[in-house]
Amino acid sequence: MADEKKFAGYVCTGCGLGERLDAGQLETTATRDGKMQRCKQHEMLCSAEGVQMIKDDIANDGVTHVMIAACSRRAKVEAFNFTDVALTRANLREGVIWVRPDTDENKETTQEMADDYIRMACAELKSMAKPSASGEQSLNKHILVVGGGITGMTAAIEAAAAGYPVHLVEKSGALGGAVGSYYKVIPTRSPYDAPAENPIPALSEAIEADGNITVHLNSTLTNTDGAPGRFSVDITTESGATETVSIGAIIQASGWKPYDANQLPEFAYGKSQDVVTNHELEALAVAANGGPIKRPSDGKEVQSVCFIQNAGQCSDKDGHLTYFAGVTDLVSIKQAMYFKALNGECDTTILFDNLRTPGAGGEDFYRAGQNAMVTFSKGIASEVIPGDSLTVKFEDKILNEQTEMACDLVVLATGMEPNSGPDPYAQLMVDEAEDEAEKAKAKAMLENAPASILNLQYRQGTDLPHLKNGFTDSHFICFPYETRRTGIYSAGPVRRPMDIQQARDDATGAALKAIQAAENAGLGRAAHPRSGDLSFPSFRKEGCTQCKRCTVECPFGAINEDEEGYPMYNESRCRRCGTCMGACPVRVISFENYSVETVNQQIKNVDIPEEWDEKPRILVLACENDAYPALDQAAQAGVEINPWARVIPVRCLGSVSLSWVTDALNNGFDGIVMMGCRRDDDYQCHFVRGSAMAAERMSKVGDTLETLNLEPERVILHEVAITDVERAPQLINDMAETVEKIGLSPFKF
């Protein structure tokens, strides 16, 4: 009974489907061509009644495989949520009737389209199995927080407050990190009119009082093995004592380090003691102990101070940081207000070019600085001349003149650099460098790699991959905290430059993500972006050639290798993108409900009309993350799509097997359009590298076409964004035009 498969199809006639299509014929197609053992119609399948009908069939008649022919798989997800069966959806609404005009002459092709989608869905269903967790999952509620600065402390408190025990590891002898040494901080509450008290002491107390948080001072991670839900982590103290803990998910909050101001000789840093960085000024303010701030060289009370904004940051100059720390303008306002509060009538000038004060209270704090008589001058400093009184030479950008000012102290608003581990792909970047300059840069990065922070025992390296400028993230905007290592989240200034409030918000977000990851791992479910997915990849060992392409190309480092070089899947490290599946040259990798076969069957079951019918067929492989939703939106907007197109959603373009392309061409398809997300530098691929991998693999597709004696124009790969509502259908229609121009494929049988 358990092994017996029972296939049932359900055709919805609501939303105009019944009027536009011949439902009787669809039913016949499903049973005769699609080999469904039964097929039922319903006038509104997503209604409680329709859903109940399917539920009853599953419960009473033992239906194991369900094909629903109704709207897009992205619609009515809650209604058609049958977890006990294998499920597929034929997209007749967004895929057919909404993209075709309702006229008599189009009736025939519209019906053909719908019939094909039914055949495809049935064929897919035949080679699918119900996804279920691997059984290797385990729930471990312990969260490991790496770094005891404000981010780590907040993350620990937040996770503990949610009932998850925390191990907080700090390499120094005290909690607090960079913020711990600050005199005061940027205000985070209305009215944002003065620097606020340092929050670290209160946080330290909270952590001390929290029985759910174990603090490991003077400690580092010497070994991190396993996967979400079953990380095994060695925490080693300075003295060498090691404790091994079992962890569900990890938050890396290793913070930042100040930019090395010795690279700014033009500002006399290092030549004069009275030129300090913003980071160093905090110590002077603390040392002043409530009295006037004194300058380092001779202890004179500072009567005039000049802040130079963007010192060594936001600049293309050699050795400078190309990016902006985001927070340093607010920091300078805060520090200028120290002088106004502690040094009375001290003249404070902030030399800025672009003053940026982000955050809810940023603008108010800026006004507060102005109100306190801090002088803001739009100017670019070029030089600081040391002396008893320092001379700052600058270009006044408003008065358009070269001028100078004298002051007792110069503060350089320098940037933040991430305190991240070595980039696991540094070697790859050297290998793939396109020119010598790039190669030299990559080499320098590899040679100057910092010590490992996580010491991961992963096939793909010991630490989190970098995104840009050494920051560890996978996408600043779309997937914050998500790194390219599942179950390990980065938070705070190691992820991107940020201020205290942002770091604390970050910490809270990452804590929730980590909790989610631990819980998901306990259920065997995928994390973002296929959250909740139970399917996982497995491979047929007897077919595997140990080529290692899957272990190398997995964007998330999910696959290790065993001693013989076979892949070792770590289900809870996997994001279910299928990039391994697309990589495998011998096609042995598959998911229960998504495999080379499920797509191949769809391709093979499209009805290919004879050549003289002059009805071409265009295969569209659309990424389910951006391209497919764009097509759905196009349908909602009533944008027309060519009737020859047959769209198959794929998990990621990275999962596309070259065999689908060759098989489709051999089956008589006239054109193939592949739609993935934007790749490479400013990628939008939800699986980071999938789209790029696909582009690389498909770059060789021309050879395949040549061997088949086909025109290269027949296969095209596009980058499509979710907003390309007009463009995505146009790309399909363009292919139809191309086919018309170059003629039908000769491979029609």
* Cβ closest to other proteins, residue 80 vs residue 339: 339
Alpha carbons 343 and 305: distance in angstroms, whole number: 10
| Segment interacting with other proteins (CB under 8 A) among 196-204, 364-372, 513-521, 723-731 | 364-372
Q: Residue 613: phi, psi to the nearest 5?
A: -75, -20
State the amino acid at position 19 in one-letter form.
Answer: E
Per-residue x/- track, 429-468, other proteins (CB under 8 A): ----------------------------------------
Nearer to other proteins, 344 or 702 (CB): 344
β-pairing, 416-418 vs 488-490, is: unpaired
Contacting other proteins (CB under 8 A), which of 371, 457, 545, 723? 371
Nearest approach, Cβ of 366 to other proteins (angstroms)? 7
Q: How far is the CB of 394 from other proteins (least distance, A)?
A: 11
Residue from 376, 591, 683, 687 touching other proteins (CB under 8 A): that is 376
Q: Are strands 304-308 and 275-277 parallel, antiparallel or unpaired?
A: unpaired
Least Cβ distance, residue 370 to other proteins (angstroms): 5
Pick between residue 322 and residue 370 the one whose CB is nearest to other proteins: 370
Residue placing its CB nearer to other proteins in the complex, 399 or 451: 399
d(CA 381, CA 83): 64
Quote the least distance from Cβ 352 to other proteins, whole Å. 9
Residues 40-79 that bind other proteins (CB under 8 A): none
- Residue 391 as a binder of other proteins (CB under 8 A): the answer is no
Which secondary structure element, helix H or strand E, spans residue 222, and what is its range? strand 219-225
* 393 part of the interface to other proteins, by CB under 8 A: no
Q: Using CB atoms within 10 A of its CB, is residue 494 exposed (0-12), middle (13-18) or buried (19+)?
A: buried
Query: Under the criterion CB under 8 A, does residue 406 sit at the interface with other proteins?
Result: no
Query: Is there binding between residue 307 and other proteins (CB under 8 A)?
Result: no
Could you tell me how far CA 401 lies from the centroid of its own chain? Answer: 46
CA dihedral 569, 570, 575, 579 (to 10 degrees): -20
- Min. distance of Cβ 364 from other proteins in angstroms? 12
- Listed in order, strand segments (DSSP E) in 325-389 are 347-352, 375-385
Phi, psi of 635, deg, nearest 5: -65, -40
399 binds other proteins (CB under 8 A): yes
**Long-range contacts (CB closer than 8 Å, 24 or more residues apart) made by 391-398:** 392/306, 392/308, 392/351, 394/351, 397/353
Is there a contact between 627 and 686 (Cβ–Cβ < 8 Å)? no
Q: Is 366 in the site for other proteins (CB under 8 A)?
A: yes
Under a CB-based contact definition with an 8 Å cutoff, are residues 40 and 8 in contact?
yes
Compute the distance between CA of residue 45 and CA of residue 130 in angstroms, rounded to an integer. Answer: 22
Counting contacts by CB under 8 A, is residue 355 touching other proteins?
yes
Quick check: 375 binds other proteins (CB under 8 A)? yes
The CA distances from residue 429 to 26, 155, 553, 583, in Å, are: 52, 33, 14, 20
Question: Nearer Cβ to other proteins, position 259 or 366?
Answer: 366
Number of residues that bind other proteins (CB under 8 A): 15
Question: Is 354 near other proteins (CB under 8 A)?
Answer: no
Amino acid sitting at position 71: C
User: Is residue 377 within the footprint of other proteins (CB under 8 A)?
Assistant: yes
Token representation of residue 437: 């300059």
Q: Does 403 bind other proteins (CB under 8 A)?
A: yes
Does position 370 interact with other proteins (CB under 8 A)? The reply is: yes
Q: State the alpha helices, DSSP H only, in 127-175.
A: 150-161
For residue 342, the minimal CB distance to other proteins (Å) is 19
Instruction: Check binding of 723 to other proteins (CB under 8 A).
Output: no
Out of 378, 441, 475, 748, the only residue in the binding site for other proteins (CB under 8 A) is 378
Q: Binder to other proteins among 360, 373, 586, 637 (CB under 8 A)?
A: 373
Rounded to whole angstroms, the Cα distance separating 728 from 630 reads 7
List C-alpha distances in Å: 468 to 119, 473, 475, 476, 701: 46, 8, 10, 10, 31
Binding residue (CB under 8 A) for other proteins from 57, 116, 347, 632: 347
User: What is the spatial distance between Cα 63 and Cα 44, in angstroms, rounded to a whole number?
Assistant: 20
By CB under 8 A, tell whether 356 contacts other proteins: no
Of the candidate spans 192-200, 201-209, 394-402, 508-516, the one that interacts with other proteins by CB under 8 A turns out to be 394-402
Residues in the site for other proteins, rule: CB under 8 A?
347, 355, 366-367, 370-371, 373, 375-378, 396, 398-399, 403
